Amino acid sequence: MAEFLQLILSGLAAGSIYALAAVGFTLLWQASQTINFAQGEFVMLPAFFVLVGMTVLGLPLWTSIAFALVLSLIVLGLMFKKLVVEPMLPHGTLPLVIATIALGVLLKESVKEFYGATAQPFPAIFPQTVYNVAGASISLQDIGNLTVSMLAIVGLQLFLGRTRTGRCMQATAQNPNVAEILGVNVKRMVLYTFLINAALATVASVLISPIYLAKFSNGETLGLVAFIAAIVGGFNQIRGALVGGLLIGVIDNLSAVYISAQYRSAMPLILLIIIILVRPQGLLGTSEGRSV
């Protein structure tokens, strides 16, 4: 039982980080119908910005994180929107999908060439203390990760629901034409979405890199998990992405121990296929209806 609790907690902690990536993914889809196949690389990259800040510029950890956040907002938010998404949008979804796939390769290979192909140790944000609660060892890092990512998501929900800008963003996601008629600056709202995605990716990156080390190929698994979390939870709901992320984290952890370590990464995929078969709109999603 103690082991079970421990697995659930560390699963939730990992899952909450997946949820951050999945939420960003969902936001981009809602705001601009962008399926971002480079989302995993978006989470991989900010950790290297932090490392550059620390090793090349010699900044302390927290300043480097701020530096990484600013760089991510510029590169993964602004430049991604202006240079990749905007020129592609009039051509439809497919060229954009291909372009984000290519962008993922570009980011991955650039990190490999310019920073290094080996996994880099990443400084821990939280102390590595482990508490023993009723036989289960609970690490402070897991609690910290869970708290920070939950705070980020709750903060985002509040921003979207309670502020004027947030509601304008929701209106843009639901119907850009009507939103524009009602005086919402649609272009700016879409830009905000891209910036929020970049910020979420940075938070996820800083939280996950101390556990998995910073490596150029981290994005492959992270991206896949973010997709799965977003679809399992419901592609058009932020709550859905959150639930999906947490669920994937827990299932991943439990199946590694109780089912088969070899097929650990297969369980989320099987869950994905089951969800698509049984409840295609996702656990919390609402049906968008067929376009044809």
Partner 1 sequence: MNPFKLLLLAVGLVALFVAPIGQGNYIIYTLNSWLLFSIAAMGLNLTLGYAGQVSLAQAGFMGIGAYVTALMTLAGIHWIFAAVLAISSCFLVGLMLGYPALRVQHHFLAFVTLAFNTLLFLVLRNEEEMTGGSLGLVGMPRPDIFGLSTGGNLQFYYFTLVCFVCAAGVMWWILRSPWGRAFMALRENPIRAESLGLKVRRQTLLAFAIGSAFGGLAGAIQAPLVQFIEPHSFGLIHSLKLLLMVVVGGSGFFFGPMLGAAVVILLPEVLRFTEGYYLIIYSALVIVLMAYSPGGLIGLGQKLFDKFRPKQQARHDLKQGVQL
Chain contacts with partner 1 (rule: CB under 8 A): 35, 84, 87-88, 91-99, 101-103, 105-106, 109-110, 112-113, 220, 224, 227-228, 231, 262-263, 265-266, 269-270, 272-273, 276-277, 280, 288, 290-292
- Residue 1 or 292: the one with the smaller Cβ distance to partner 1 is 292
- CB 291 to partner 1: min, Å: 7
CA atoms within 13 A on the CB side of 118: 2
- Residue 33 or 157: the one with the smaller Cβ distance to partner 1 is 33
Report residue 77 CA to chain centroid gap: 14
Residues whose CB falls within 8 Å of the CB of residue 165, separated by 6 or more in sequence, listed in order: 159, 189, 192
- CB 195 to partner 1: min, Å: 21
- Residue 28 or 156: the one with the smaller Cβ distance to partner 1 is 28
Q: Which residues pair with 214 in a beta bridge?
A: 120
- Residue 192 or 227: the one with the smaller Cβ distance to partner 1 is 227
- CB 2 to partner 1: min, Å: 30
Q: State the virtual CA torsion across 292, 30, 25, 161 in degrees, nearest 10.
A: -140
- CB 39 to partner 1: min, Å: 13
- CB 203 to partner 1: min, Å: 25
Q: Give the span between the Cα atoms of 105 and 46, in whole angstroms.
A: 16
How many contiguous H segments (helices) and E segments (strands) does the chain have? 12, 2
- Residue 3 or 288: the one with the smaller Cβ distance to partner 1 is 288
- CB 266 to partner 1: min, Å: 5
Provide the token pair at 81: 């929107």
Residues whose CB falls within 8 Å of the CB of residue 229, separated by 6 or more in sequence, listed in order: 15, 18, 19, 21, 22, 241, 244, 245, 247, 248
- Residue 75 or 124: the one with the smaller Cβ distance to partner 1 is 75
